[in-house]
Structure 1
Amino acid sequence: MAKIILTHEVTGLGAPGDIVEVKDGYARNYLMPRGLATGWTKGAQKQVDQIRAARRAREIHTIEDARAVRDSLQSKPVVVSVRSGANGRLFGAVTTADIAAAVSAAGGPAIDKRKIEVPTAIKSLGEHKVHVRLHADVQATVEVRVVPNA
């Protein structure tokens, strides 16, 4: 078992700044090469404190605030305008950064793109559902409407 420090959110494992134990191969072959984790050392505690402070500054602090943001996100669909072919297929895919930018452009709250989970890649026009983790106990299901560029 390897003791590591997560530097990014890993679904099912933990949040940035968490110290977790995982199997050696998982740490060495998956987490570390992708930059999702670093090895744990005694001197790394300062780095963990910095990561946690940055996370606290970014996240929504109370459940009431998270519920208010969830209600505003779920009240209307997010419209993303992209280039598409004649048959409705996109040139590329809609990313979490595109969705976060569309929410901000529509006057919604600033959402961290790392908190957005897309169940299946959005590669066609139409309506799609995505999930946004706002708080440990609050998750919003947002309707994303993909329309062609004018």
Structure 2
Amino acid sequence: MAKLILTHEVTGLGAPGDVVEVKDGYARNYLLPRGLATAWSKGAQKQIDQIRKARKSREIASLDDAKAVRDSLQSKPVVVTVKAGASGRLFGAVSTTDIAEAIAAAGGPSVDKRKIEVGQPIKAIGEYQVQVRLHEDVAAQVDVQVVPSA
């Protein structure tokens, strides 16, 4: 088992600054090469504190604030305008960055693209549901309308 410090959020494992123990292969082949974690050491406590401080400044402070943001996100659909062919197929796919920018453009809160979870890749015109994790206990189901550009 390898002891690591997460530097990025890993779904199902933890948040930045968490110390986790994972199997050696998972650490060696996935987490470390992608820069999602660093090796744990006794001197790394300073790094952990720094990561937690940065995370605290970015994340939504309280559960009530997260619920208010969730209600505002779920109140109206987010419209993403993209280039599409005549059959309704997109030239590429709608990314989490596109969705985060559309939320901000619609007057919504600034959402980190890493907090947006898209079930299936969005590659056609239509309506989709995506999940936005706002707090460890609060997630918003956001309706995304993908429309063709003129």
**After TM superposition, is the score higher than 0.5?**
yes
Runs (4+) off by over 4 Å: none
Q: For residue 10 of structure 2, give the secondary structure of its aligned residue in structure 1.
A: coil
- Give 5+ residue unaligned stretches, structure 1: none
Corresponding letter in the other structure for 1:21: E
TM-score if structure 1 supplies the norm length?
Answer: 0.98
Q: Distance in 2 between matches of 1:41 and 1:141?
A: 39
Q: Distance in 1 between matches of 2:96 and 2:39?
A: 28
User: Offset at 1:34?
Assistant: 1.0
User: Offset at 1:82?
Assistant: 0.6
Deviations 1:89-126 (A, max 9, x none): 11111111110100000111111111111111111110
Corresponding letter in the other structure for 1:101: E
Which runs of structure 2 are paired with 1:1-150 in the superposition (5 Å)? 1-150=1-150
Count of aligned pairs between the two proteins: 150
Deviations 1:56-83 (A, max 9, x none): 0111111111111000000000000011
Q: Distance in 2 between matches of 1:16 and 1:119?
A: 23
Corresponding letter in the other structure for 1:31: L
Corresponding letter in the other structure for 2:72: S
Q: RMSD value over aligned CA atoms?
A: 0.7
